[in-house]
Amino acid sequence: MKSVSVLVTGASGFVGKSLCAKLQSPGHAVFAAVRSKNPRVEDFEKIVVGSIDSKTDWSAALCNMDVVVHLAARVHVMAERSENPLAEFRKVNVEGTRHLAECVARAGVKRFVYVSSVKVNGEQTASPYTELDKPNPQDPYGVSKWEAEQALLQVAARTGLEVVIVRPPLVYGAGVKGNFAQMIKALAKRIPLPLAAVRNLRSLIYVENLVDALILCSIHPKAAGQTYLVSDGEDVSTSSLLRRLGEAMGRPARLFSCPPALLKLVGKLTGKSDQVDRLLGSLQVDSSKIRRELGWQPPFTLDEGLKATAKAIIDKV
């Protein structure tokens, strides 16, 4: 495998740290773009770029790079205080991404790998999403990711920059937060959960599988200009996920049945409808395109990923 110089934005984040570590093993030169001098990044050359927007100075960071993997983004804000959330998402996720891509093209960097989101496709599925489905983002974050994808394709058409877009579903692994971490903590404490009757199907991707796909997208000739949905390849219901997590932890899940309609009502009354909908609804992706075109196979199974994730979180409980 030919070694390349890779700039990773969002390098101090959940996925970024794993990506930087994985890139080093085949001997690639890894550079971490960070906001400040004291990021949570070790063992990589760090380049401070400050906040990401339409005015970020990328000149020092892009010198002699072959690939940029753009992970940095404004993500979901649980306690949103902005009167116009979409405008705030656009500053970073759309204009910041467009500006970076233009700088990348001017610097002569060959490839730009953009980590988008399945939220571009939508929030729930009756059948698995594919790359050919019409985008249907439902919230400001999803809208901003879709607009960023369009901005990148415009830059690519104008400059010849090789853009690769990757849309992952829920990413889990050591360091995961949100519902996933809360489920593991509840299982560790043997808290009964009212989810035995949930029969949904959701696609997931273990963080180590995601970074493996991102590295392949960074170097494979056929990836240029493509959009890929990625997943572990095995979809599970919330109830099955809890049982398998419990098995991985050696602490069997304590589940009981509660009508989904009642759970939705409780979610509405407590202001947690979004969290409840994610636990009850289906969201599947078809990742056959990247497997077919690039020959990608996830290096870890779902159960292997769950076991590693559970161990990392339990050690901190």
**What count of other Cβ atoms lies within 10 Å of the Cβ of residue 167?**
25
169-223 residue pLDDT tens: 999 998 888 888 888 889 989 999 999 999 999 999 999 999 999 999 999 999 9
Catalytic positions: 141
The mean pLDDT value for 55-75 works out to 93
- Range 151-154, long-range pairs (CB < 8 A, 24+ positions): 151/94, 151/97, 151/98, 151/101, 152/97, 152/98, 152/101, 152/112, 152/114, 154/98
Query: pTM to 2 decimals?
Result: 0.93
Average pLDDT over residues 292-307: 96
Tokens of 279: 């636990």
* Tens-place pLDDT, residues 75-85: 865 455 667 88
pLDDT of residue 276: 87
Give the per-residue pLDDT at 78: 47
Q: Which domains does the chain have, with CATH numbers?
A: 5-167 (3.40.50.720)
